[in-house]
């Protein structure tokens, strides 16, 4: 029997533990315009009991012009505390399909010091499909203090990426779909070139889960190997704006690969500049 993933929980598990003390449930749903889903409206219409809504367009660095820029530890702690979430809670994060936007919030809580953060397999889509109870009643929140222990080593900056591209000191795993990685398909944000960073490998985030569940470890390992990612080396994950890159981070951590960072600016920052080298159709 396969070992359970230490970073995910099943719907059965959550249903059985939903009323446990110290349990925090977080709706981290976020969607691209092409998906035609309104995350906040869906939450208001029906969410898992006890869930609070984590707005990934709001919990950001207010001084940055990049989408989803990681907030400072103080800003993050303020938002988390206002949601009634402490660092020592058992934090269960979910999104719509299971592994689209939830990994980003899983990653954020972990690098800010939370000790027990997991993702709900199947997301709320699977929860609803199984006929489980949802509510449209607002979740009562008692604000608290989230004591941050930020780990800056898990975040890569633009200057880090320039060095990595120049030296090849780490693997670069890009989570965008293959067409965007190759520069064949347009980027969803205006003014952003197509293509990818020199030396990057393409591991599309959507290929790492099936039916709302993360692939088994042997399949994850094969996905990275097939893409040409050497897991014996440090890895930096990237995507369009730093959201789906966290799915690759989740997969790496599942495989026991802990020498990884996430490039927070991702392709919106790199491809939006005219002084960064690129490969692919936009080069």
Report residue 179 CA to chain centroid gap. Answer: 21
Q: Of 258, 262, 227, which Cα lies nearest the Cα of 243?
A: 262
Active-site residue identified among 239, 246, 248, 250: 239
Q: What Rg value do the Cα atoms of the chain yield, rounded?
A: 18
Region of 219 (left: φ > 0; alpha: ψ -120 to 50; beta: rest) is: alpha
> DSSP E strands: which ranges in the chain?
8-9, 23-27, 51-53, 90-94, 116-120, 155-156, 171-174, 200-202, 209-210, 213-214, 235-238, 260-263
**Within 13 Å of residue 190, how many CA atoms lie on the same side as its CB?**
0
* 3-class DSSP state of 90: strand
Find, among 172, 162, 165, 153, the residue nearest to 233 by Cα: 172
Q: Is 144 a catalytic residue?
A: no
E strand or H helix at 74, and its extent?
A: helix 73-82
Distance CA 212, CA 206 (A): 10
Residue with tokens 């869906």: 42
CA 157 to CA 234: how far, in whole Å? 15
Show the CA angle centred on residue 212, arms to residues 138 and 216, nearest 5°: 135
Q: Which are the catalytic amino acids?
A: 239
């Amino acid at each position: 029997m396969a070992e359970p993933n230490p970073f995910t929980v099943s719907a059965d598990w959550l249903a059985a533990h939903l009323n446990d003390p110290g349990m925090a449930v977080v709706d981290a749903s976020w969607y691209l315009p092409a998906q035609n889903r309104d995350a906040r409206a869906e939450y208001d219409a029906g969410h898992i009991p006890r869930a609070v809504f984590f707005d990934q367009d709001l919990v950001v660095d207010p001084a940055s012009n990049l989408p989803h820029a990681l907030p400072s530890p103080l800003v993050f702690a303020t938002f988390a505390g206002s949601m009634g979430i402490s660092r020592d809670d058992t934090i269960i994060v979910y999104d719509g399909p299971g592994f689209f936007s939830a990994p980003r919030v899983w990653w954020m809580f972990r690098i800010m010091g939370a000790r027990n953060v997991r993702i709900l397999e199947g997301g709320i889509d699977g929860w609803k499909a199984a006929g489980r109870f949802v509510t449209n009643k607002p979740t009562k929140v008692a604000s608290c203090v989230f004591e941050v222990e930020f780990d800056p080593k898990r975040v890569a900056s633009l200057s880090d990426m320039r060095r990595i591209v120049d030296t090849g000191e780490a693997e670069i795993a890009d989570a965008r779909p293959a067409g965007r990685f190759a520069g064949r398909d347009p980027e969803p944000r205006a003014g952003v070139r197509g293509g990818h960073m020199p030396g990057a490998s393409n591991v599309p985030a959507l290929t790492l889960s099936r039916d709302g569940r993360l692939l088994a470890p042997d399949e994850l390992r094969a996905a990275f190997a097939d893409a040409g990612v050497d897991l014996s080396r440090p890895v930096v994950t990237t995507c369009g704006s730093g959201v789906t890159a966290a799915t690759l981070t989740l997969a790496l951590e599942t495989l026991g690969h802990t020498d990884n960072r996430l490039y927070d600016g991702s392709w919106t920052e790199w491809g939006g500049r005219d002084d960064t080298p690129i490969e692919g159709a936009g080069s």
